[in-house]
Every structure is written in C-alpha cells, then in structure tokens.
Structure 1
C-alpha cells in the first residue's frame, strides 16, 4: 500500500559522506597541470619593476598568460569588460602584453604581486582550487544520491543495470525500442522478466522553486513513458527540502506508481518490484 505520510516522515536530513567536502586529488591535479607557468610567475612576486619584468616574461614564455584567470578564481579564459566602451580580453589567443597589464591592474590582481604576504603562487592557486571545488558541493548531493541508489540496485539479483543511459543506448544494448523522447536517465534496469524501468534520482536538502518544477516535469514524463507500454518510470527522491512543497510531491506520489525514498530502499522495496512474472 502506498503511504504518502510515511514517505514524507522518513525523508532524510542528510546523505552527507566524507567525499562531500573537497576533491583534493582533483584540486592537486589541476594545480600540477599549470605548476610550471605558476613558478615562472613567481619571479614577478615583489618585483620592483613589475611592468618591465612582465613584458620580458611574456616575450620568453607567452603561455604563462593562460594562468592569469585562475589567480582571480575563475576558469573562464575570455572576458568582455564594460566600461565607457566594451573591452575584450582573451587568455587563449595571445594579444598585446599591454592589454594583459591593463587587466592585471584594473582587476586589482596587481596587489598579489605587490603584497609580500603571498610567497608562492603554487600554494595560492592550490587554495583557489580548493575553494572552486567546494562550490560544486550542491552537485555532490546529487552524486551521493546516485551512488546510494546504485548500491541498492546492485544488491538486487538477476537484473541488468545501465547508468546514464538514453533510449538509443537501450536499443543498442537490448534491442528494445522505447517510443519516448531521447532523454538520459540516471539508470535503466532490465529484470529477469524483461521489464524495463527508467529511473531518475535526486536529493533536495533545501527548498526552492526547482522542486516544484521537478515534480511537475516527472508527472508528465511518467505519463509519456506509460504510453509506450514497454517501460515503467521510477523516481527515487529524498531530502527535507520537499517539506516546503509537500503538496507538489504528493501530486507526483499519487500520479507515479514507482516513487520512493531511501527509507523505502532500505526496507527492500526494489526486491519486491523487480523480477516479478
């Protein structure tokens, strides 16, 4: 029996794991890739004649220019600045060194080179990379939810699991045509009875307008999939963010036959669904 109140009352406060915080391997790898150029720039730290030293460095090692944006904590390489007129800066296709000197001064980046508190740009950029990586934490909740669901799917015997799969890949893998839009699903499962389940997962710790949009879009997606008669839609979601829009979640719960949370998975719901004759 479906029980919406039970689903609502068992939403998780957190699915936090230790790898939520910072991907240090990724941060260090990013720094290692530009380590050489950063060390060349180190020679400009505290230089008494910065402009002349910069031009000389540019002449000998023009590729050094490419690492300037990361000093401002951005991965972008092209910028359009609006002042009295629009000014373009390109850190991939080299232009005049005077342009870059203007950019360094007007962004305030020059303070890094004048202020003797910064001794090494490799260490500085390592801190920048850690900061940029932490900005992706919102996405990590989705990744964590995906991993949790995958763990439960793997515990079910006699099913085949495809990750990040669209209907085209389903046809290539199993020869089954799904008459639905060519959307990428988090998982596609085929059980021993050749039932196909198209699965989406997400986790919402906080409220927001996106939850309302997600619920509505998945109701429509479920209707579309049901028309194909060759697959079923399964939505596995969690997080206390749903409490602020519980009516939207309830509408989806009443419309989507296979809508579950982590607690349902913990109670073995998947083993009751897959492999039924």
Structure 2
C-alpha cells in the first residue's frame, strides 16, 4: 500500500465543528428545567439581609430545595466535590446540605451569601442557565469525537456499507483472546466476504498528550489485531492537532490502514469491492 505522509498531513481539517457544536442548548434547558422548581424557591433568599432566618423558613418547608446548591458554584452532585476544613481534613460539600447550619456555612464560605444579599443575582433560573452553558463547554471534547463518528457513519451509509457501532471487544472472541483487556470496544466493525475490519475513529483539533497517547496505543494495537486471521485494524482520524505530534508519523508508517476524511474513499472503495 503506497502511503504519502506529507500529503496525508496536508489534507487534515482544521475543525469538524459546525455552529451547533459549541452549545447543546436543548440539553442545557433540560438540565435547568429539572431543578427549576427548587431554583425558583431559592429565589426567596435573594435580597434577604437576615439570610439565616430565610434559610430556616425554606428548610422547615422543604429541605430538599437545598440539594441543588452545587450548580450555583458550577459543580454537580455526582462529582462529589470536597472542601478543606481548618484542621486540614477534607469533607464532602454535599454534607453541608444536611442542616441549616451547613447550608449557611456553604453560602458564607462560597461567597453566595453576599451575592444574595447584594442582589447581584436577580433570578436563579436565568443564572443557572448561564452556568449550564459554561459547563456544557466542557463537553465539547467528547462532542468532537461523536461528530467524527457520526460523520464516518454517514459516509458508510451513503456508500451502502453495513456496519456495527460501538461493538464491545468481548463480543469478538478471537480478538478478545489476543487483546485481553487492552481495549473495551471498537467504534465500528465492518464484515466483508474477505475480512472483518475493526475501526477506531477520532478527531484532534489541538495537540497535547492525548493524541500522542492515542498514536502510541494504536501502533501497538494494530499488529496484534492484524495477526489474527481474517481481521484488520483500521484507523480513521483527522484534525490539525496531529501536526507536531511525532508519534503520529511512526504510527502512520507502521499501521497499514490509516485514513483521514479525504482518503476515506480509498477504504470505502476497498470494502465495497469485498462485499
């Protein structure tokens, strides 16, 4: 197989993000809606000088409204965040939501008490919509991978290539016996009359340690899979994040089946010839 590394690198896309990539407003609105009743109840605290009395009043009516306090400091309950006590021991923030005194310690310690008293926040529902928008930006890295997977899946579909997505390694015994626990699943599996192609897909718009780690991992993975009769490893990747990643050149040279969004036609042509 003739491969031209410099040509491959010159074809890489700068981004795979369309305008709807940056924020998932449907998910953001859903997250806000799920706690909007509690947030509207907590609006009662805004502007109260005697904040403890106001907190006690809400607590006596329904202490569950304070379970949403995490989002006001841009964290989530599932993250199980800790904070440091004066004696240098750590305590889960969620433990503060178990009493009025704990809630007041949280509000005072985080600075939210002053924010409430000064009316710097007018409406907690609107405020949390902004917080959720900020937190959603942290999901962009995962979305970038999903965008690439969807893109590749569409290419397979348009070319009439049947494939399975997110296939656990344990469902392919021959491969599981060789790889062990090295990989949990493959992004796509395509079976033809000649081969079974195990496919990994990713996109890197920026550098860092992750692309290097991925390249080195696949350099080791590829020969192991290719040693199994009837199986081939395929890597479909793109993004200018590969520029300057030394490990990628080695991976490109050692892995027989490496494609980007420009050269993927070579792979689809190959597969269609074997169907």
Structure 1 and Structure 2 fold alike (TM over 0.5): yes
Indicate the residue corresponding to 1:105 in structure 2: 108
Residue 28 of structure 1 contacts residue 126 of structure 1 at CA under 8 Å; is this kept in 2?
A: yes
In 1: Cα distance, 2:266 partner to 2:258 partner: 14
In 2: Cα distance, 1:229 partner to 1:271 partner: 22
Matched, 1:142 2:145: yes
Deviation at 1:212, TM superposition (A): 1.8
What are structure 1's unaligned runs of at least 5 residues? none
Deviation at 1:92, TM superposition (A): 7.2
1:95-116 deviation per Cα after TM superposition (whole angstroms, max 9, x unaligned) = 2220121111011111231122
In 2: Cα distance, 1:61 partner to 1:216 partner: 54
In 2: Cα distance, 1:181 partner to 1:230 partner: 18
Indicate the residue corresponding to 1:276 in structure 2: 274
Structure-to-structure mapping, 1:86-235, within 5 angstroms: 86=89, 88-91=91-94, 95-157=98-160, 159-170=161-172, 179=177, 180-181=179-180, 183-191=184-192, 193=193, 195-235=195-235
Q: Quickly say closer, same or farther: Cα 1:198–1:260, change in 2 above 3 A.
A: same
Q: By percentage of residues, which structure has more helix?
A: 2
Indicate the residue corresponding to 1:251 in structure 2: 250
Residue 188 of structure 1 contacts residue 196 of structure 1 at CA under 8 Å; is this kept in 2?
A: yes
In 1: Cα distance, 2:116 partner to 2:31 partner: 22
The 3-state SS of whatever aligns with 2:198 is: strand
Indicate the residue corresponding to 1:18 in structure 2: 19
Residue 97 of structure 2 contacts residue 103 of structure 2 at CA under 8 Å; is this kept in 1?
A: no
In 1: Cα distance, 2:19 partner to 2:171 partner: 33
Q: Quickly say closer, same or farther: Cα 1:220–1:268, change in 2 above 3 A.
A: closer
The 3-state SS of whatever aligns with 1:149 is: helix
- How many residues align? The count is 269
The 3-state SS of whatever aligns with 1:160 is: coil
Indicate the residue corresponding to 2:60 in structure 1: 59
1:35-75 deviation per Cα after TM superposition (whole angstroms, max 9, x unaligned) = 11001101111013110110121121111111101000111
